[in-house]
Structure formats: C-alpha cells, structure tokens
Structure 1
C-alpha cells in the first residue's frame, strides 16, 4: 500500500560522511537521524490507518490504527499533499473516485464516505450531524484532485472530474465580495479542524482554502485545456481583493470571521501568507507576530488556534472544555504552513520548533492535539504527514 524506504540507502548515506545538505533536501538542516525517524513514523501511520471498504478498496482513515471507519476528504488531502511520495498513486486515484461518488445532486461534496460507501456531508455523528454540510468540502475535494494530478501528471483524471469539482465549488455559499459566507441564521460547519466552532459571517480559513483551490484549478484548466480557467481566476481575484475585510489592523493578523468568533485566527493568518494572498508587508507582520508570541501559542512545537489572550472560542456547536480539542489545545497539523512562515523571519526558531515537535512525537507519540496532561487521539495521521513534509 505504501512506498517503503530502503534501509541500505540510509546506511549508505551515514557511512559516506556527506554533509546534511547533501543527504537531504530538507531546508531546516535537521540531523539525518531525525529525518529518517520522521519518515519511518509517517510510513507507519499511513500503513496503520488503512481499512478495507466493502468494495475492497483500502481507505486511509484519520488515525494510524484504523479505529475510524471512513475516508475523510480533508484528512486525505493532507496525506496526499504532504506525503504523496509515500503513497500508491493508484490507491489515491481510486479513493478520489470513492469520495466523488458521494457528491450530492446539488453539488455538495462529502465530508467523508464510510466503509459501506455511505456519504456523510457534515461533521458530527452519521445520525446526528452538526449541520447540513461543511463549507470546506468542495474546496478540499478540488485541492485533493489538484494535488494528485500535479504530483502524478494524471491529465485524464482531471478532465474526467473538472466539471464535478466546479459544481462542488459552486455549491459553497459566498458573499458578493467573493468570500465564503456562513449565514448566522443557518450556520454550517466551517474549516474541518475547527468544525465544532460556530464561526459566522465572512470566513477567513474557508475563503483561503477556496482561494487556493481556485488558483490550482485555474492552473490545471489552462494546462490541460479542460473547463473555463477564467471562472477560477475571477473567483480567486475576488477573494484576494476582499480578504482585507477580515484584517485586524492593530495586530496585523486576520479575524477568523467577522460576526460570531471575530477573534484572531493563528492558523488562518499563517495560512494566508502560505497561500500567497498577503502583501510583503502583511506577511512580515504575521511572521513577526508568531515569533513574538511563540511562548503563548506553542507547546512542544505544536500550536493552538487562538492567541494566548483568548482562552476559548466565543461560539461553539457543542460544549468543549477550555484547553481541550479545538478550544485551546495545541496541534501539529498546521505546522506544514506555520513553520515556513516563521522561517521567513527566523529560520533558527523554525528549526527549533520542528525539532521540538519531533521530540514530542518520539516521547509521547503522534497525537491529534495536546495540552498539559491532555492528549487527544493518538496515532493521528495528518499530524505525522504534515510534519514529515517539512523534513523532506
């Protein structure tokens, strides 16, 4: 199922006495032992997370011991985007079709598809969803396909699904400004790693995911001459023009939303820099904010959603204790974009944070999120894949 590294290659590198820059393309110059450990640990998570669906397809579930019994769209995107080199492209393609077969007639893409091929459109239980759907389903489905096509040059797949992906993007509610909009009177779930948080109004993170999806769809549409690239171009430009509506001028960071949960979004602000939507000045301010507040927002190399001054979100779909899960715990998933943003201004700090999280993984396991005397979901695959990417 997964591409295995050869131990002989590692031994050869160690014996040759090469400099670390010669041994690995990793830009943070980690010791080779840490790079190798992270690769093997990620392979273990990817192998362990596979469960067989009723149709015989191996599904990559969110946890590395196969407790979950579904293929989640956003989690699978992170696996493919950040560890696609460790995965079987044929299995990725089959899983893409498995997810896309769950698209509703109105265009809504699934949040997940269970092992019995039943599509589910909202976070929450299969029989007690938190909303009708999640607003990131369509953008993440587009990003998943684009990531696979870009890595494995599968023009045929893109041509076969481009129209369906556009329909999935069309389904997502957007304001006239182009930003993804969550109606306070009928709120849907937002970005899946904050799906319990009831953010309403114009949304930061989901708009950024939509922006990135449109940029990548435009590029592939032009490259393979499928669909109308101008549709995606216009939508991305509208988001770029309007994202300032969510800017907090005092801090230089972005609000998570402009109605409910009008709070500084640490993950989302860093992601704005990562996807290239911010100006050079804005990027510098966000990078510096992360650096100056490192002691308040990081623990063992992992990062919380909110600034240290905010103990919890203002509005939630379900009660969550302060400091737990999406309401104040520390996560490894966003490090894939947070660490590079910090490195723009302070590469030694970026390296230290990366080494801190690897040390925590080695000591306490690869977990979904942590806090003092708190661990949630051991063997969480996206934590592993997203940190692994930084060591490649």
Structure 2
C-alpha cells in the first residue's frame, strides 16, 4: 500500500512551490492581511467606540477586525493570527501579559449560575478597564455567563493562551518571560493552570463536556451546542501539549518534555480512533451535534493529526463536496457540508441561530486555507480554484476601496454578510498559504505528506 501510495502521488509530491497560489496573489493577500491587522490595532488611549472608553491597558491591542466591529481584545482571534509575522514583539508581549493577568485564580460562580473554573482564560478583555469577560455574548463584567453560552467559559481560550506564549517565546527567544511572576504565579505555571482548566475524558484524554457542564468547544461556533468528546478542542489540546513539551525542552526539563510528547501522541491516536467516520471526515463530537465537521477535518490534516490514507480519504470527500457545490461559496466554506446538515431546519443539531446564518450554515474564509491544503492532497487543481475564488472575492470587495466595501467579511451567505474587515478571514489563509508556498523551497505540504509516510 505504501508503494502504491507513492506511485499514485509522486507527481504531486514534485509540484513546484506555486502549487496553491500565484506569487502575485500571495503578495496581494499579504498586503491585505497587513492592512486588516493595522486596522485592527487599538493604540494606547485610542477610543474606537462611543460605547467604551479609550484603551487604558498600557499597550497596543489587536481586536478581531477593523471599523466598528468587536470593540475589545479577543484572545482567540489574536492568538490565531500571531503567526503572520505582522505583530511586533512589543505588542505580543503586552497582549500575552494582559491575558495572563486576567486569568481566573479561583473558582467563581456567575449571577446566572455558570461557573468560571480556576485557570480560565478570558474570551475577551475590555479595553477601557481591562476587565475579563469569560463568556461570549456580552461586554458586561457583572452580567456575563448566560447559560445559552455554556455552563463554563469557552474551552479553546485556555489552549490558545498556551499557543500565544509559545509563539512569543519562539519568535523573541526570550525564555525568561516563562519565569515572570504574575500575581505570585509564574507565566509557565499559569500555562499549566490553563491546561488543567480544560475538562477531559479520563479514559482517552480528549476534551469532554456533558450537557450539565457544557463549554463552547471553539469560539468560531459559540452559538452552537456541542457535547461529548470534542474534536476541534482535542486537536487544539494536542497542539498545546506539543508546545508545552517543547517549552519544557527549552527549559532543560527532558523528563517532562518526553512525558508530554508521549501524551500528545496518545491524544493524536485517540482523536482518529474516536472521531473518524467511514467517509474520511472527523465528526465534531460524540454526543450533541456529532456531525461531520469540515473545519476539524481540514485542520487535522493541516496539523498532521490525520495522515496517510485517512488524510487522502478526507481530501476526496471534501473535494467531492466542493465539486457538488455543497461546501463553498465565493472561496469561503461552511462548517458542515450541506448534505451533512442535521435536518432541513438546521445545519448543526444544537444551535441558537437560524439555519444558513452565522455559524449555522454561513460561509467563512477563516478555514479556507486548511480546506484548500486538504483538497490539494488529491485534487490540486480544485484547491487552486478554491483559492482563486477566495482571492477574487477579496479583490472585488476589498475594504480599502472605501466605505461601501467590506472584504474580508467575517462570514456571508448568498443574501447577506456581516462584520467587515475581519482579521482571521485573511490571517489564517495567509499563514497556511505562506507555509505551503515558500518560493525556492518545497512546500510544507509536501514535506508533511512525506513525513507521514515514514
């Protein structure tokens, strides 16, 4: 089987670095991404909304997008964008330490009866007074925690906290920050507290919630109710533990490095065993909303959690849905392939928003890069086509053309669109495409395929 695989995919393994995007389009995407990040900055003492005071946090913040949308610092969106190379080390350090300083140090109960566990990281942080808002759906510190957003805060923020720390140390080479004390606890120990705040299934170490302690699995579907073992968050946990393992190695602790490396590999195997469906897709969970999950599947391929035959099968399924026009529109993708919708009234089984709106069936380009990467394993021409549609849509609606334009949008449908100048809609595809099409080098995508065969 290994030899047959190599024979079939050998031509693809030799594709030149321009496999997914042209140099001209990559340059355009880089400039647009930089412009969006620049528009998303909130400078010290800058006021961006009449509803809030100026930025009093002591440094620059980066919100999820420009103009008037999302006037706060969202830890998740920033952490997902920090690998662009477009955020200065000074800015990174400020946002990292701000996030650490607002970590919850003792179990708290909200006025709505939800719980903020020890080690929880804020979903977003107010710019005027730096108060942490642990739950989606509000800017109110006192009134946060409505049960419809979960019985506990979103689970991904704790893991993205680890990611933003890892990226800062990797880029700055400043190991000393890991020992910096924040309210009597070192930054590194705060990472451990954050990891412990993520609930797990003790039988397989995957992230797990029941209906009684549900927390949002991933903030890009905080309006969706998902329970059981959680796929996307478990992939995030695999990434976070791998990063902690590497940080232990940087600190010279080989015992903990090897221990966490072994745990990461166990989680990686269990993700495949628990979530992989016969058609090659990973399902989102094992209980409510346990549907084939495009984002989890594509990201698992990109991170190497799905490899070899499993990655190829996932690629074939996603390519088929793209050709059938049940996945993408204007270069953006759904969370769920339309033929995998729960029923004719909702895409996800549990949702607080209507079908074909927002996270329940709208199209998002945040995941476009992961999806194109996955498609390229079997159908590079289709992957190129998806990226070309993505770039064409950005060029048509580019927000730099004036107030009547808003691309990149957060998400859209055939009838509507929302939140203009949205950062991860370009920052995530840019990172994927940059890493996969480095001029003069073989693309990362090819190296990962080859490594998966070893």
> Into which bin does the TM-score normalised by the smaller protein fall?
0.7 to 0.9
Counterpart-to-counterpart distance in 2, 1:226 and 1:69? 41
Alpha-carbon RMSD across the aligned residues, in angstroms, is 2.0
TM-superposed CA distance for 1:65, in Å, is 2.1
Contact 1:73 1:112 in 2 (8 A): yes
Contact 1:312 1:322 in 2 (8 A): yes
Contact 1:246 1:256 in 2 (8 A): no
Which residue of the partner structure matches residue 217 of structure 1?
Answer: 244
Which residue of the partner structure matches residue 124 of structure 2?
Answer: 112
Q: Any residues of structure 2 matched to 1:168-247 within 5 Å, and which?
A: 168-176=194-202, 177-225=204-252, 228-247=256-275
Contact 1:175 1:181 in 2 (8 A): yes
Which residue of the partner structure matches residue 90 of structure 1?
Answer: 90
Which residue of the partner structure matches residue 9 of structure 2?
Answer: none
TM-superposed CA distance for 1:231, in Å, is 4.6
Which residue of the partner structure matches residue 381 of structure 2?
Answer: 348
TM-superposed CA distance for 1:46, in Å, is 0.8
TM-superposed CA distance for 1:390, in Å, is 4.1
Q: Any residues of structure 2 matched to 1:42-61 within 5 Å, and which?
A: 42-51=33-42, 52=44, 53-61=55-63
TM-superposed CA distance for 1:233, in Å, is 2.4
Matched, 1:257 2:259: no
Counterpart-to-counterpart distance in 1, 2:260 and 2:71? 34
> Could you say if the C-alpha distance between residues 25 and 244 of structure 1 is closer, same or farther in structure 2, counting changes exceeding 3 Å?
closer
TM-score, structure 2 as length reference: 0.76
Contact 2:410 2:418 in 1 (8 A): yes
TM-superposed CA distance for 1:67, in Å, is 3.5
Q: Which runs of 5+ in 1 are unaligned?
A: 1-23
TM-superposed CA distance for 1:270, in Å, is 1.2
Counterpart-to-counterpart distance in 1, 2:312 and 2:36? 35
Q: Any residues of structure 2 matched to 1:319-338 within 5 Å, and which?
A: 320-338=353-371
TM-superposed CA distance for 1:354, in Å, is 1.1
Q: How many residues align?
A: 364
> Could you say if the C-alpha distance between residues 300 and 57 of structure 1 is closer, same or farther in structure 2, counting changes exceeding 3 Å?
same
Contact 1:38 1:391 in 2 (8 A): no
Counterpart-to-counterpart distance in 2, 1:249 and 1:102? 39
Contact 1:199 1:260 in 2 (8 A): yes
Q: Provide the secondary structure at the position in 1 that maps to 2:326.
A: helix
CA deviation digits over 1:52-78, x for unaligned, max 9?
421331110011225422211110012
CA deviation digits over 1:21-80, x for unaligned, max 9?
xxx976534142x23322221121111111242133111001122542221111001210
> Could you say if the C-alpha distance between residues 39 and 248 of structure 1 is closer, same or farther in structure 2, counting changes exceeding 3 Å?
closer
Counterpart-to-counterpart distance in 1, 2:326 and 2:144? 36
Which residue of the partner structure matches residue 38 of structure 1?
Answer: 29
TM-score, structure 1 as length reference: 0.88
Which residue of the partner structure matches residue 413 of structure 2?
Answer: 371
> Could you say if the C-alpha distance between residues 237 and 321 of structure 1 is closer, same or farther in structure 2, counting changes exceeding 3 Å?
same
> Could you say if the C-alpha distance between residues 378 and 280 of structure 1 is closer, same or farther in structure 2, counting changes exceeding 3 Å?
same
Contact 2:133 2:144 in 1 (8 A): no
Contact 1:45 1:380 in 2 (8 A): yes
Counterpart-to-counterpart distance in 1, 2:69 and 2:288? 33
Counterpart-to-counterpart distance in 1, 2:81 and 2:305? 24
> Could you say if the C-alpha distance between residues 169 and 338 of structure 1 is closer, same or farther in structure 2, counting changes exceeding 3 Å?
same
Counterpart-to-counterpart distance in 1, 2:388 and 2:430? 12
Q: Provide the secondary structure at the position in 1 that maps to 2:213.
A: coil
Matched, 1:300 2:330: yes
CA deviation digits over 1:292-330, x for unaligned, max 9?
1112101111110001211511012x2x12111100011
TM-superposed CA distance for 1:169, in Å, is 0.3
Q: Provide the secondary structure at the position in 1 that maps to 2:167.
A: helix
Contact 1:159 1:226 in 2 (8 A): no
Contact 1:48 1:66 in 2 (8 A): no
Deviates more, 1:191-200 or 1:157-166: 157-166
Q: Provide the secondary structure at the position in 1 that maps to 2:73.
A: strand
Which residue of the partner structure matches residue 136 of structure 2?
Answer: 123
Which residue of the partner structure matches residue 426 of structure 2?
Answer: 384
> Could you say if the C-alpha distance between residues 152 and 26 of structure 1 is closer, same or farther in structure 2, counting changes exceeding 3 Å?
farther
> Could you say if the C-alpha distance between residues 384 and 241 of structure 1 is closer, same or farther in structure 2, counting changes exceeding 3 Å?
closer
Matched, 1:144 2:164: yes
Q: Which runs of 5+ in 2 are unaligned?
A: 1-15, 45-54, 106-117, 181-186, 398-406, 435-454
Which residue of the partner structure matches residue 103 of structure 1?
Answer: 103
> Could you say if the C-alpha distance between residues 93 and 134 of structure 1 is closer, same or farther in structure 2, counting changes exceeding 3 Å?
same
Which residue of the partner structure matches residue 7 of structure 1?
Answer: none
